[in-house]
A = this chain, B = another copy of it.
Amino acid sequence: MKALIVDDDLVLADVVSFTLRRAGFQVITAHDGQAALDTWQAESPDLIILDLNLPKLDGLSVCQRIRQQTDTPIIILSVRGEDDDVVRGLELGADDYIAKPFSPRQLVARAQAVLRRAGITPTTGPLVVGELTLDLARRELHRSGHLLAQLTPLECRLMEVLMLNSGHVLPADTLITQVWGPSGGDRTMLKQLVHRLRAKIEPDPSTPAYLETVPGVGYALVRRPSA
């Protein structure tokens, strides 16, 4: 999993680089807009982390140029007060943004979420929680070894997020961001998606056994020993 970091602040670029390396990424860096485009073409990374404030070629332009040719996930780095630029970046096709200062954990989480949403699966093996197994590549959910349901792309993403945090309550907003990204999503859509997922995976959808509702907060996937 290769990540390209574009930032003219050498210190910050180093921090980001270190963080991502520790999370298992292979990291390359560029410090101005032109170099970013060159490196991108030479290395074709899986993920780009892009500061907007760049010498030689503006970050937004870089974003635009890259989007014209590929769907490589882009995460924008912004400082407080550049909200307009963030919005324009997202409109130009960026996948997410992070406001400085950010925590390392935050960064890694966002990076993985974006990759997941783009269909690039960092986790090779299937996800297992209790008797449930999710095959991300095939989007198939198995229970005790045999096929329970064939999931749609969105259902699969939701299920993945829930399984990665099984046993913990995930706030509705968190789920929405994880599934639809920072600019899309809606409470009603989440309701619908949960409904559709339950219809597929719950033996009796009216009394959920796996996908639990926590009123006023969100949802949780129950983690049972083996039942």
Which residues on A are within 8 Å of B, measured CB to CB? Answer: 11, 67-68, 70-73, 93, 95, 101-106, 109, 118-120, 122-123, 137-139, 152-153, 168-171, 174, 214, 216-217, 220
Contact = CB atoms under 8 A, between A and B. Distances in A.
Given A109-B119, A153-B216, A168 B103 contact: no
Contacts of A120: 103, 105
A138 B169 contact: yes
A72 B106 CA distance: 11
Nearest to A153: B216
A71 B105 CA distance: 10
B103 A93 contact: no
A73 B139 contact: no
B216 A122 contact: no
A7 B32 CA distance: 35
Interface of A: prevailing SS: loop
Contact of A71 (B104, B122, B139, B168): B104
B168 A123 contact: yes
B174 A122 contact: yes
A59 B198 CA distance: 53
> In the complex, which of the residues A101, A105, A169, A174 has the most CB atoms of chain B within 10 Å of its own CB atom?
A101
A217 B123 CA distance: 13
Contacts of A93: 101
A210 to B, nearest CB: 16
A138 B102 CA distance: 27
Nearest to A99: B117
B119 A71 contact: no
A11 B220 CA distance: 42
Of A71, A73, A95, A171, most buried by chain B (CB within 10 Å of CB) is: A71
A119 B112 CA distance: 14
